[in-house]
Amino acid sequence: MFELLLVLLAIGFHLTSSSAQVKEIKLAQPSNIFILAGQSNMAGRGGVSGGVWDGNVPPECQSNLSILRLSANLTWEEAKEPLHKDIDVNKTNGVGPGMSFANSVLRRDPSLGRIGLVPCAIGGTKISQWERGTFLYNQLINRANVAVEGGGIIIAMLWYQGESDTINKKDALSYKKNLETFLTNVRADLRFPSLPIIQVALASGEGLFIDIVRQAQLGIKLPNVRCVDAKGLQLQKDDLHLTTESQVKLGQMLAGAFFEF
């Protein structure tokens, strides 16, 4: 009886140790890190209608033990949709481009190892709310710095923002200068002057000046900055947010642009 008890205890210890090892694998420091920033279409509204997310996660956006996310409390955890659930807290989040991007990147280059995603996007924000010294800017820089504390490196930032700057013509006309300043400041404050940045040209907008903002985005000539054009991707009934299928496609487009660096 005593021998049987020892065997059971040994089995229990083995199972507990194995479980702890699995958890450690999930939460280990990622090697290569991507920042996800901007407004609602980066945060993800795919599958959201009437303030409710339908819970549909396409195969391209499924979780993967090799993809982690930096949570709001600055700890690494397994990444899963919605990626911005605890970041863009005043809105309902659904599918964005992040998981599709990460899965696509790993399929194309498994040698990248464990990937870390740093969600920073907040819906409804104008470029002026991302100026150096603002809450959103400081939060991005802080989260990015925490993300590399364990030894990983930031290898790119994905940026999708501008819908809110299509309402006022003055905002639209100053968008190019403001975006260039923002991207330059981020690189300076992360001490990575050549940081690869992939920005998205708008598929939609909240105002009449979409074309002005799009021209600004397509006209950015900073080194190591690429632009993926979302125009033509399917929108939801609100004519503002990308559908789940479009978010999947956008993530794949962003991955393609990443491998062009």
Residue-wise pLDDT for 96-125, tens only, equals 999 999 999 999 999 999 999 999 999 999
**What are the Cα distances from residue 142, in Å, to 42, 80, 189?**
19, 22, 10
Within this chain, do residues 104 and 215 fall inside the same structural domain, yes or no?
yes
- Amino acid identity, position 120: C
Q: How many domains does the chain divide into?
A: 2
193 prior amide bond cis, ω within 30: no
Within this chain, do residues 126 and 115 fall inside the same structural domain, yes or no?
yes
pLDDT band at 27 (very low <50, low <70, confident <90, very high): low
Entry pTM: 0.90
Within this chain, do residues 6 and 51 fall inside the same structural domain, yes or no?
no
pLDDT reading at 246 higher than 60: yes
In this predicted model, which residue has the larger pLDDT, 80 or 13? 80
Within this chain, do residues 124 and 23 fall inside the same structural domain, yes or no?
no
Q: Is 66 left (phi over 0), alpha (psi -120 to 50) or beta?
A: alpha
**Rounded CA gap, 41 and 20, in Å?**
36
CATH code of the domain covering residue 69: 3.40.50.1110
User: Average pLDDT, stretch 68-74?
Assistant: 98
Within this chain, do residues 7 and 40 fall inside the same structural domain, yes or no?
no
Within this chain, do residues 57 and 8 fall inside the same structural domain, yes or no?
no
Within this chain, do residues 208 and 131 fall inside the same structural domain, yes or no?
yes
Total residues found in the chain within this entry: 261
**Rounded CA gap, 142 and 148, in Å?**
10
Do 95 and 47 contact (CB within 8 A), yes or no? yes
Within this chain, do residues 19 and 65 fall inside the same structural domain, yes or no?
no
Do 63 and 77 contact (CB within 8 A), yes or no? no
The alpha-helical segments, DSSP class H, found in the chain are 2-27, 40-43, 98-108, 135-147, 169-173, 175-189, 210-218, 244-258
**Rounded CA gap, 99 and 222, in Å?**
27
- Average pLDDT score, the chain: 92
Within this chain, do residues 19 and 51 fall inside the same structural domain, yes or no?
no
Domain with 207, as residue range(s), is: 31-258
pLDDT reading at 17 higher than 60: no
Looking at residue 28, its pLDDT comes to: 77
| pLDDT 10s digits, 75-101 | 999 999 999 999 999 999 999 999 999
- Neighbour-count burial of 18, counting CB atoms closer than 10 A to its CB (0-12 exposed, 13-18 middle, 19+ buried): exposed
Within this chain, do residues 85 and 116 fall inside the same structural domain, yes or no?
yes
In 3D space, the residue among 238, 216, 240, 212 whose CA is nearest the CA of residue 227 turns out to be: 216
Within this chain, do residues 3 and 50 fall inside the same structural domain, yes or no?
no
Which residues are designated catalytic? 40, 238, 241
In 3D space, the residue among 146, 2, 156 whose CA is nearest the CA of residue 76 turns out to be: 146
Within this chain, do residues 8 and 70 fall inside the same structural domain, yes or no?
no
